[in-house]
Amino acid sequence: VLLLNPGPVTLSERVRRSLLQPDLCHRESEFFDLQDEARTRLLSTYSLDSSQWTAVLMTASGTAAVESMVAALVPKNGRLLIVENGVYGERIALICAQYGIDHERIVGDWLRAPDWDAIAAKLENQPKDAGFTHVAVVHHETTTGRLNDLHALLKLCRDHGAGLLVDAVSSFGAETIDFDDPALSAVAATANKCLHGVPGAAFVIVRRSALKNAASRTYYLDLGRLARLQDERNTPFTPAVHAYYALVEALREYADQGARHARYEHYAALAERVRAGLAALGIDALLPAEQSSVVLRAYRLPPGKTYAQLHDALKAEGFVIYAGQGNLSKTLFRISTMGDITSTDIDCLLQCFARLLG
Ligand X SMILES: *Cc1c(COP(=O)(O)O)cnc(C)c1O
Q: Tell me the site size for ligand X, rule CB under 6 A.
A: 14
- Contacting ligand X within 302-331 (CB under 6 A): none
- Contacting ligand X within 24-63 (CB under 6 A): 61-63
Determine the interface stretch with ligand X among 98-106, 136-144, 233-241, 347-355 (rule: CB under 6 A).
Answer: 136-144
Under the binding rule (CB under 6 A), the answer on residue 167 touching ligand X is yes
**The binder of ligand X chosen from 85, 170, 325, 336 (CB under 6 A):** 170
Spatial CB neighbours of 92, under 8 Å, sequence gap ≥ 6: 66, 70, 82, 84, 136, 138, 167
Q: Which is nearer to ligand X, 85 or 190 (CB)?
A: 190
Specify the DSSP element, H or E, that contains 123. helix 116-124
Under the binding rule (CB under 6 A), the answer on residue 88 touching ligand X is yes
**The binder of ligand X chosen from 190, 292, 293, 325 (CB under 6 A):** 190
Q: Is the CB of residue 171 less than 8 Å from the CB of residue 147?
A: yes
Under the binding rule (CB under 6 A), the answer on residue 18 touching ligand X is no
Under the binding rule (CB under 6 A), the answer on residue 71 touching ligand X is no
Under the binding rule (CB under 6 A), the answer on residue 169 touching ligand X is yes
Which has the closest alpha carbon to 34: 13, 9, 59?
59
- Distance between CA atoms of 38 and 59, rounded to whole angstroms? 13
* Backbone dihedral angles phi then psi of residue 175, each to the nearest 5 degrees: -85, 160
Question: What is the closest distance, in whole angstroms, from the C-beta atom of residue 340 to ligand X in the complex?
Answer: 18
The vertex-1 CA angle with 262 and 271, nearest 5°, equals 35
The conformational region for residue 326 under phi > 0 = left, psi -120 to 50 = alpha, else beta, is: left
Determine the interface stretch with ligand X among 77-85, 145-153, 165-173, 333-341 (rule: CB under 6 A).
Answer: 165-173
Under the binding rule (CB under 6 A), the answer on residue 142 touching ligand X is yes
- Helix/strand/coil for 322: strand
Under the binding rule (CB under 6 A), the answer on residue 90 touching ligand X is no
Under the binding rule (CB under 6 A), the answer on residue 203 touching ligand X is no
Q: Is the dihedral of CA 87, 141, 333, 8 positive or negative?
A: negative
Q: Which residues bind ligand X (CB under 6 A)?
A: 6-7, 61-63, 66, 88, 138, 140, 142, 167, 169-170, 190
